[in-house]
C-alpha cells in the first residue's frame, strides 16, 4: 500500500526514513535528492510546481531531516542502496532523479551503476570529481571544529558559500530556513556525512556512458561547484542540456525557484512527451530562450 502525503515514515535498511510523495499515482516518477547539510524540504517549491503532472518524491537522506541516523558509517554507496530500497518499498520500477550537490553525487552513482532503473537525470550545482587532498583535509578540520565548537560556528562559516551575495538581501527567509535546517542536523550525522563525502570516488569517467537525457542546472555564482564544472560534464554527456541561472549561488533552486522550475518543466515535458504550460517566471530574455526550446520539443 502507498501513502501519498508529506513526511511519511517507512522502514528501509533497518532505518526509519521520512519522505514526501505527491502527485498522481500513475504519473511518471521524479525523485528529488537533497544537498548537504540540508533535508527534503529544500525541494518543496519544486514538488509544488511539478506535482500536477508527475508523481514527485523527496526524502531525507539517513541522518538528515526526519530520517534516522542508524548505526553504520555513511558512504555514497550506502546512500544509493537507501535510494534503491526506497524505490523498491514504493514499488517504483523506474524514475527520474533530480539531485543537488551531494544529491547529484548520489544520483550520478545510482545512474552509472543501475542505468536501467532511471529515465532521466537533473544534476544541479554538483560535480563528478573526488575530493582533492586539500578538500579532504578541510573536511577533517571541519569535523574537529564541529566537535570542539558546535554546529553554530559551522553554520556561520558555510552559509556564505551556499548563496549568491545578493541573496543575502533578497532571500532572507530562505537563508534563515537553511540555517535552521543545519542547526537541527545532529553533529554525528554532520561528521559521518563529511567523512563519506571525503571518501567518495570520482564518477567522471563514466559520464560518456550515460545515455538517458540529462539536464545540468547551476547558479552562475556557485562557489562550491562552479558553472565551468557543469559545462565540462555537459560536454561529456551526449544527450544533455545546461542552464546557468544568473544571480544564484550553490542553492540555485532556493534562490531562483521560478527559473529552476521552468527548466524542470521543460526538461521533463521533453522526457515524458507532455505539453508545457508556462508559469509566472518572468525573465524575458530567458523566456524567449525557453520558447525556442519549447518549439523544438513540440516538433519532435
Ligand atoms: C552539498 O551542497 O551537498 C555540499 O556542498 C557537497 C559537498 O560538500 O561536496
111's enclosing H/E stretch is helix 102-113
How far is the centre of ligand 1, averaged over its atoms, from the C-alpha of 54 (Å)? 27
Say yes or no: CB of residue 162 within 6 Å of ligand 1.
Answer: no
Q: What is the percentage of the chain residues whose pLDDT exceeds 70?
A: 91
How far is the centre of ligand 1, averaged over its atoms, from the C-alpha of 296 (Å)? 34
Q: What is the mean pLDDT of residues 220-248?
A: 97
CA distances from 10 to 3, 181, 286 (A): 10, 21, 41
User: Above 90 in pLDDT, residue 188?
Assistant: yes
Judged by average pLDDT, the poorest of 44-48, 76-80, 143-147, 292-296 is: 292-296
For the stretch 40-70, pLDDT in tens is 999 999 999 999 999 999 999 999 999 999 9
Q: What is the mean pLDDT of residues 157-162?
A: 97
- pLDDT band for 285, please (50, 70, 90 cuts): very low
What does the pLDDT read at residue 278?
Answer: 55
How far is the centre of ligand 1, averaged over its atoms, from the C-alpha of 36 (Å)? 5
For residues 135 and 198, the answer to whether their CB atoms sit within 8 Å is yes
What does the pLDDT read at residue 274?
Answer: 83
Q: Best substitution site from 64, 154, 199, 225 to test ligand 1's pocket, by max atoms within 8 Å of Cβ?
A: 225
How far is the centre of ligand 1, averaged over its atoms, from the C-alpha of 35 (Å)? 6
Say yes or no: CB of residue 267 within 6 Å of ligand 1.
Answer: no
Query: Which pTM value belongs to this model?
Result: 0.92
For the stretch 111-144, pLDDT in tens is 999 999 999 999 999 999 999 999 999 999 999 9
- Dist. CA 211–CA 227, nearest whole Å: 22
Amino acid at each position: 500500500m502507498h501513502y501519498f502525503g508529506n513526511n511519511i515514515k517507512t522502514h528501509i535498511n533497518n532505518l526509519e526514513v521520512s519522505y514526501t510523495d505527491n502527485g498522481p499515482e500513475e504519473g511518471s516518477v521524479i525523485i528529488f535528492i537533497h544537498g548537504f547539510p540540508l533535508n527534503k524540504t529544500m525541494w518543496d517549491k519544486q514538488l509544488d510546481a511539478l506535482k500536477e503532472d508527475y508523481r514527485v518524491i523527496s526524502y531525507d537522506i539517513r541522518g538528515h531531516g526526519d530520517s534516522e541516523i542508524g548505526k553504520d558509517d555513511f558512504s555514497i554507496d550506502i546512500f544509493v542502496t537507501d535510494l534503491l530500497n526506497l524505490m523498491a518499498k514504493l514499488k517504483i520500477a523506474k524514475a527520474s532523479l533530480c539531485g543537488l550537490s551531494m544529491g547529484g553525487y548520489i544520483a550520478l552513482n545510482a545512474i552509472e551503476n543501475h542505468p536501467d532503473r532511471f529515465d532521466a537525470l537533473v544534476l544541479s550545482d554538483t560535480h563528478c570529481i573526488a575530493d582533492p587532498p586539500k578538500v579532504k583535509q578541510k573536511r577533517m578540520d571541519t569535523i574537529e571544529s564541529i566537535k570542539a565548537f558546535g554546529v553554530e560556528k559551522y553554520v556561520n562559516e558555510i552559509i556564505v558559500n551556499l548563496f549568491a551575495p545578493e541573496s543575502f538581501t533578497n532571500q532572507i527567509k530562505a537563508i534563515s530556513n537553511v540555517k535552521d535546517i543545519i542547526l537541527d542536523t545532529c553533529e554525528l550525522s554532520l561528521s559521518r556525512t563529511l567523512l563519506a563525502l571525503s571518501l567518495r570516488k570520482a564518477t567522471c569517467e563514466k559520464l560518456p556512458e550515460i545515455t538517458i537525457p540529462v539536464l545540468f542546472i547551476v547558479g552562475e555564482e556557485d562557489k562550491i561547484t562552479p558553472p565551468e564544472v557543469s559545462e565540462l560534464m555537459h560536454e561529456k554527456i551526449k544527450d544533455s542540456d545546461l542552464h546557468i541561472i544568473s544571480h544564484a549561488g550553490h542553492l540555485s533552486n532556493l534562490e531562483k525557484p521560478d527559473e529552476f522550475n521552468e527548466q524542470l518543466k521543460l526538461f521533463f515535458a521533453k522526457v515524458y512527451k507532455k505539453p508545457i504550460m508556462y508559469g509566472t517566471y518572468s525573465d524575458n530574455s530567458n523566456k524567449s530562450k525557453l520558447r525556442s526550446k519549447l518549439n523544438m520539443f513540440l516538433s519532435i
